[in-house]
Amino acid sequence: MTARLYRLVRDLHLYLGLFISPFVLVFAVGVFFLVHSWLPRIASKSSATRVVSDLPVPGELRTLSGRPLIDALKPILEKSDVRGEVGFVRMILATAVTGR
């Protein structure tokens, strides 16, 4: 009886693995494209670098935190002609910008 159960479990494992493997491969390829944001036709068009200088940085930027910090950084986005939102700011970056 144990040999028969062993063969059943072995065959079940084989066929279940063969059934699931295409889904695992599609998932892996999809994760690669989504995480790395790489599409064959778009990659060469979207790789442009732009440098903006002489931006007015508020002096009290170092003392602000939370929503007032985000509100103080919004004019910098407008002056540099960047669309979007300020979502996360590390204080290390804020002190490096002000130079204090």
Helices then strands, each counted (H, E), the chain: 3, 0
- pLDDT per position as a tens digit, 24-77: 999 998 888 887 766 666 555 555 677 777 877 777 877 887 888 888 888 888
Say what the alpha-carbon torsion angle 39, 40, 45, 48 is, to the nearest 10 degrees. 70
- Cα–Cα dist 28/24, whole Å: 6
pTM of the model: 0.39
Measured between its terminal Cα atoms, the distance across the chain in Å is: 78
**Residue type at position 18:** L
- pLDDT per position as a tens digit, 14-25: 999 999 999 999
